[in-house]
């Protein structure tokens, strides 16, 4: 082991002092690991947005058989009826307006809510990072903007911005653990309804956000709500928020599922790149290996040096690619939005750790076969091969 440590600087010099080979190899690994990490970030975002937990206590009441905020219209007075159902803690009518119906990485979603209901509709763990909710109450066109949306659009308190033909004033930036809250602009319900009158929505809303007292009664309450309106003019479909996102963003989830094949492809590319670089280096260095053996380096020590070289290439290239992907997702704060629901592209630092570990492991794996072959070569064989 001590011998391996003593020869480490020699291995590093071999990598650094072959700049063209190293740059090309690291570039390839970095690009592949960037792709892998980006796909992992998307998968992580989908998981966070759709995986139910025991603490989930929010239901979304939508118009039955409607899948788009433009066609889901429910009378605002339904909230009074829903409030009376056993197990319901509070109900907030929400009007949804998006500036773009297509799948996009930069969709602005407005959520219109009654003046006093801001705190009720937000998921636990939120705080107004900048600005305050009092100014939101005072001003009719005020908006509390989710931090990811604000970062993506470069918005700060006091700015005005226009999306979908609606101009709002930023009165606060919202920090939250819930992806949906981080990516929307909360405006006052009458303001949004008024602004959308051209679309003829009147005093209807898109959905109701219902908080239940006991998370274990989520399904019971959902069924009770749907049964209440079963024979009404506007029947409802009620699901937990995570299930609702999972259903609405099905296309995105399928796309991300397909993209995971790209992630596997990227990993195979990393393996192939490192293995190829090592095999070519071994062929170029066959004389050097004979010399090392003549000097007293054992086959197993030379093999270990080869594996370390693979590991270092994997580690360095992986770190560059993974960190670049993390930086892009961190700065860009992208979210995939469909029908007013957001699936964030995660920038969780844990993806950094996973990516770098995977790249390191692939580097080691790619070095094993060349190392085994080199360690078994006889000196005379090496010299004959030159």
Partner 1 sequence: MSLIECRKLSRIYNRGAEEIRPLDQLDLRIDAGGFVALMGPSGSGKTTLLNLLAGIDRPTSGELEIGGLSLGDLSRKELADWRSEQVGYVFQLYNLVPVLTAYENVELPLLLHPISSGERHRRVSAALDVVGIADRHSHYPRQLSGGQEQRVAIARAIVTEPTLLLADEPTGDLDRESATAVMELLSRLNKEQGRTVVMVTHDAKTAQYADVLLHLEKGRLIEQEEMAS
Footprint of partner 1 (CB under 8 A): 2-3, 6-7, 10, 13-14, 17-18, 287-288, 290-300, 378-380
What is the nearest approach in angstroms of partner 1 to the Cβ of residue 313? 15
In the complex, what is the shortest distance from the CB of residue 7 to partner 1, in angstroms, rounded to a whole number? 5
**Which lies closer to partner 1 via its Cβ, residue 3 or residue 127?**
3
Q: How far is the CB of 317 from partner 1 (least distance, A)?
A: 20
Tokens (6 digits) for 343: 């699936």
Q: Is the dihedral of CA 151, 157, 159, 161 positive or negative?
A: positive
- Residue closer to partner 1 (CB basis): 212 or 292: 292
Residue closer to partner 1, measured from CB, 129 or 378: 378
Q: Based on CB atoms, which residue is closest to partner 1, 3 or 138?
A: 3
| Minimum distance from residue 20 beta carbon to partner 1 (Å) | 13
Q: How far is the CB of 369 from partner 1 (least distance, A)?
A: 20
Measured from the CB atom, is 200 or 296 closer to partner 1?
Answer: 296
Residue 276 CB, shortest distance to partner 1, in Å, is 19
In this complex, which beta carbon is closest to partner 1, that of residue 6 or of residue 250? Answer: 6
Q: Which long-range contacts (CB under 8 A, 24 or more apart) does 347-353 make?
A: 347/41, 348/41, 348/44, 351/37, 351/40, 351/41, 351/44, 351/322, 351/325, 351/326, 352/37, 352/322, 352/323, 352/326
Kindly state the smallest distance separating residue 23's Cβ from partner 1, in Å. Answer: 15
Minimum distance from residue 302 beta carbon to partner 1 (Å) = 10
Task: Give 91 or 374: the residue with its C-beta nearer to partner 1.
Answer: 374
Q: Which is nearer to partner 1, 328 or 379 (CB)?
A: 379
Q: Which is nearer to partner 1, 14 or 99 (CB)?
A: 14
Rounded least distance, CB 19 to partner 1, Å? 10
Three-class SS string for the chain? CHHHHHHHHHHHHHHHCCHHHHHHHHHHHHHHHHHHHHHHHHHHHHHHHHCCCCCCCEEEEEECCCCCCCCCCEECCHHHHHHCCCCEEEEEEEEEEECCCCCECCCCEEEEECHHHHHHHCCCCCEEEEECHHHHHHCCCEEEEEHHHHHHHCCCCCCEEEECCEEEEEEEEEECCCHHHHCEEEEEHHHHHHHCHHHCCCCEECEEEEEECCHHHHHHHHHHHHHHCCCCCCCEEEEEHHHHHHHHCHHHHHHHHHHHHHHHHHHHHHHHHHHHHHHHHHHHCHHHHHHHHHHCCCHHHHHHHHHHHHHHHHHHHHHHHHHHHHHHHHHHCCEEEECCEEEECCCCHHHHHHHHHHHHHHHHHHHHHHHHHHHHCCHHHHHHHC
Q: Which is nearer to partner 1, 219 or 288 (CB)?
A: 288
Minimum distance of partner 1 from residue 293's CB (angstroms): 7
Q: Helix 299-332 to helix 286-295 angle, to the nearest 10 degrees? A: 130
Q: Are 47 and 361 in contact (CB under 8 A)?
A: no
The whole-angstrom separation of Cα 352 and Cα 81 is: 48
């Amino acid at each position: 082991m001590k011998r391996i440590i003593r020869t480490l600087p020699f291995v590093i010099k071999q990598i650094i002092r072959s700049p063209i080979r190293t740059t090309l190899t690291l570039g390839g690994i970095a690009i592949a690991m960037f792709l892998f990490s980006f796909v992992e970030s998307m998968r992580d975002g989908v998981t966070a947005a759709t995986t139910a937990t025991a603490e989930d206590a929010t239901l979304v009441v939508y118009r039955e058989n409607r899948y788009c905020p433009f066609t889901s219209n429910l009378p605002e007075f339904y909230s009074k009826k829903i409030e009376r159902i056993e197990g319901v803690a509070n109900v907030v009518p929400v009007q949804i307006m998006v500036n773009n119906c297509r799948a996009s990485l930069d969709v602005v979603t407005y959520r219109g809510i009654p003046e006093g209901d801001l705190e009720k509709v937000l998921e636990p763990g939120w705080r107004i990072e900048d600005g305050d909710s009092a100014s939101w109450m005072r001003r009719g066109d005020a908006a509390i903007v989710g931090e990811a949306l604000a970062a993506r659009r470069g918005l700060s308190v006091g700015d005005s911005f226009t999306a979908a033909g609606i101009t709002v004033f930023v009165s606060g930036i919202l920090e939250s653990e819930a992806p949906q809250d981080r990516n929307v602009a909360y405006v006052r319900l009458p303001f949004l309804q008024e602004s959308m009158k051209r679309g003829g929505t009147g005093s209807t809303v898109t959905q109701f956000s219902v908080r239940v007292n006991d998370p274990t009664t989520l399904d019971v309450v959902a069924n009770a709500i749907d049964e209440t309106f079963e024979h009404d003019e506007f029947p409802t479909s009620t699901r937990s928020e995570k299930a609702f996102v999972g259903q609405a963003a099905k296309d995105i989830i399928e796309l991300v599922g397909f993209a995971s094949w790209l992630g596997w492809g990227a990993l195979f590319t990393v393996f192939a790149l490192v293995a190829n670089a090592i095999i070519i280096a071994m062929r170029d260095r066959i004389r050097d290996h004979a010399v090392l053996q003549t000097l007293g380096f054992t086959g197993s020590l030379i093999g270990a040096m080869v594996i370390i070289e693979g590991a270092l290439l994997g580690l360095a290239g992986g770190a560059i690619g993974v960190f670049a992907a993390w930086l892009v997702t961190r700065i860009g704060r992208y979210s995939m939005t469909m029908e007013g629901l957001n699936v964030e592209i995660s920038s969780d630092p844990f993806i950094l750790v996973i990516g770098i570990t995977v790249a390191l492991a692939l580097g080691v794996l790619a070095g094993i076969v060349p190392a085994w072959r080199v360690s078994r070569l006889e000196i005379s064989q090496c010299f004959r091969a030159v």
